Amino acid sequence: MKMVNDGMKKIEAVVASEKVDIVYRALKRYGVDNVFIVNGYGKGLFQNILLTNARGTNSYRPELMPASKIELIVADREVEDVLDIIAKNAGIGINEGLVGRAVITQIEQVRRLEKTVKV
């Protein structure tokens, strides 16, 4: 059974879908390879400034915009570096995305229902 001595954090970042590959490659260069990415649609503050041309002459404001959620678990000592990497490569600024972090108390491997990593 592998034991981890230091604490861990789960980081969730919501970024524009077109930035996911850039962020993933930057994280991989840093050494973080355990990334989970979910593509979907969401509504945020950026909706107020975007107009799209429809067929014909009218324009409209879309209700939902494509976005991606990146989830990863890193050691406490890597959290600030990972947040910097995400912010620099996803262009997270005003109205461009969200980043959150949560404390992880225990990780279990589902394959055999064994506790393989304790924090």
Nearest of 91, 101, 97 to residue 65 by alpha carbon = 97
Q: What pLDDT sits at residue 24?
A: 94
Q: What pLDDT sits at residue 23?
A: 92
Average pLDDT, 10 consecutive residues per value, the chain (119 residues): 62 88 94 91 63 62 81 90 90 65 70 57
Q: The pTM is what?
A: 0.70
Q: What pLDDT sits at residue 7?
A: 80
Q: What pLDDT sits at residue 31?
A: 93
Nearest of 18, 16, 5, 23 to residue 83 by alpha carbon = 23
- Complete domains list, the chain, with CATH: 2-118 (3.30.70.120)
